Structure 1
Amino acid sequence: MSEVYTFSLGAKEIIYDSDTSPITRDEINKEFDNEEANISMPLDLFPATEFRVFNPATTVWCKIVKNGVMIFYGRVAGCSFDIDAGIAKLKLITLKGMLKSKIPSRTYSRSCPFEIFSKDCKLKREDFALYLFEHDIKLDESRFKLTSPKIEAFKSGYFALGYIEFGEAKSHIVAHNDDTLELLFPIPNAFNGIIKVYPGCDKRIDTCETKFNNLVNYGGFAFVPAKNPVTEGF
């Protein structure tokens, strides 16, 4: 199950649970050829701490909300540190920007490089699809949240990082809590009445084994050391 951290952005420092955690962000770029943002924060604040030695084994996602409206959603693509100033700068990139990136098909990494249900993963989508019909679901006013008793039959987080299909369209599943899915894109008022829900994979070896029973096709190198032996020793 994924963890969610919420931060405040403003002129004043916010103290939560006796911890002062101010962050700032640059202007969000919405040009056609690039969509990215930068967030500056104390270097000892999560998720900057996860990038000190290696990139984390799982993808870190970031959602920026202003006045109740989501203005940015993407992943943390990298992190740079200014030790003297005590500042870390996270580079964020949208899904659109990710699609333009050149990504090696295989890398030596602890996490699996294969996409779930791909030819290398070898899992069959139809074996994991959950079918929802119009009478099974309830949508909130924004149509970004989908609720169904059928979803509650699965452990919270099971569908996180997965996606739904409705007609020819798809939407990424941002979060799964109890009987509710939070979607990246809203479901339109008119769709074909059938929604297929697919679980997500965080690309960890234990998830591959316990959630999907697919360890034989795991594409990562789980025993690559978490610490750099050159700089930190064994």
Structure 2
Amino acid sequence: MSHAVTNSACPIAPHPLSEVELYAFASNSAQFYLTPHEFDVDLEGTLYSSLPIERNELALGAEAAKSALELKLPPSADLVRHLLASALSGDTTAVTLRIGQRDTWGDIWWLSGTRWMGRVLGVEVADDQARIRCESAQVSLKRIGLRRLYSRKCSHVLYSAACGAGPITADAFVLEVYGRSVDLDGGVPGGVSGSLAGGWLQTPDGARHMIVSDTGSGVELLYSVALEPGTEVLLTAGCDHSTATCAARFNNLDNYGGFPAIPSKNPFSTGVF
């Protein structure tokens, strides 16, 4: 069955490309359908929206499906905001790279195959660019053993079901914004003062911005944000994943996911005695 492509600027104009890339991102809470080309692609009612996306080179042949995928895109994209929020909630996002083929007789397209499948490992935002790191599904399936880390500090995602801690929050009003620094009217509220590093600032539209540090008069975010003075925001406390913080801040030591008693002495390098 053939499928038509829709160009939002000129719906009936033919496209010179004979092949397009189509990205599908799906999690428990949201789906995103994107294409790196300058026109939108409509396949059976699913619209792949145009967005400037760059990716690394994938291996050829049978090794292509095993290659890691790294994407570069604008940090203001809704997908980036969703992935940052998912990193805080522990929600996993699957990604599929498909290929659309154009009929030589007209502006008609169809799905000609799947180039790559996997999951998002993480997203980083720096200056005017966001980087999304993805792991192949074949690599995930062939990994031996449990995926949970054996570490001194807790590996649970804060406020996730495995963590079990209740969110510690406080409302505040924006006084002024200087790049990544957000000054708050009256300073950081007492209920969350000194505990916001690793937490987030949530705007009225639901967007979450990770907090790097608590400065007393305000907070420093992971990346720059545009907020008008007087905007009401929700501040949520973070965690450094230590036993001291788990006990004192959240009273949640029964659910602690780390192994603080791991011996620091390695018998393979220092000997047993």
- Compute the TM-score of the two structures, normalised by the length of structure 2: 0.45
Q: CA RMSD in A?
A: 3.7
C-alpha deviation, 1:180, in angstroms: 1.9
Q: Residue 129 of structure 1 contacts residue 197 of structure 1 at CA under 8 Å; is this kept in 2?
A: yes
Is the alpha carbon distance of 1:201 and 1:189 closer, same or farther for their aligned partners in structure 2, counting shifts above 3 Å? closer
Q: 1:100 to 1:173 in 2, by over 3 A?
A: farther
Q: Does 1:129 align with 2:169?
A: yes
- Tell me if the contact between 1:152 and 1:180 (Cα under 8 Å) persists in the aligned partners: no
The whole-number CA distance in structure 1 between the counterparts of 2:215 and 2:151 is 29
How far the C-alpha of 1:110 sits from its partner, in A, is: 0.6
Q: Is the 8 A contact 2:199 2:237 kept in 1?
A: yes
Of 114, 122, 127 in structure 1, the residue corresponding to residue 156 of structure 2 is 114
Larger Rg: 2
Q: Extract unaligned runs of 5+ from structure 1.
A: 1-29, 37-62, 65-69, 74-93
Written as runs of structure 1 = structure 2, the 5 A alignment for 1:25-174 is 32=55, 33-34=69-70, 71=127, 96-97=132-133, 100=135, 105-125=147-167, 128-132=168-172, 136-142=173-179, 144-148=180-184, 149-151=186-188, 153=190, 157-166=194-203, 167-174=205-212
1:189-234: per-residue Cα shift (whole Å, max 9, x none)? 4699431111111111111112221111101111012342321346
- Which residue of 2 is the match for residue 218 of structure 1? 256
Identical-residue share of aligned pairs (%): 26
> What is the deviation of 1:107?
2.4
Separation in structure 2 between the aligned mates of residue 100 and residue 164 of structure 1, nearest angstrom: 29
How many Å separate the matches in 1 of 2:157 and 2:191? Answer: 22
Name the counterpart of 1:49.
none
CA contact (8 A) 2:176 2:229 kept: no
Query: Cα offset for 1:154?
Result: 5.9
Cα 1:159–1:100 shift into 2, 3 Å: farther
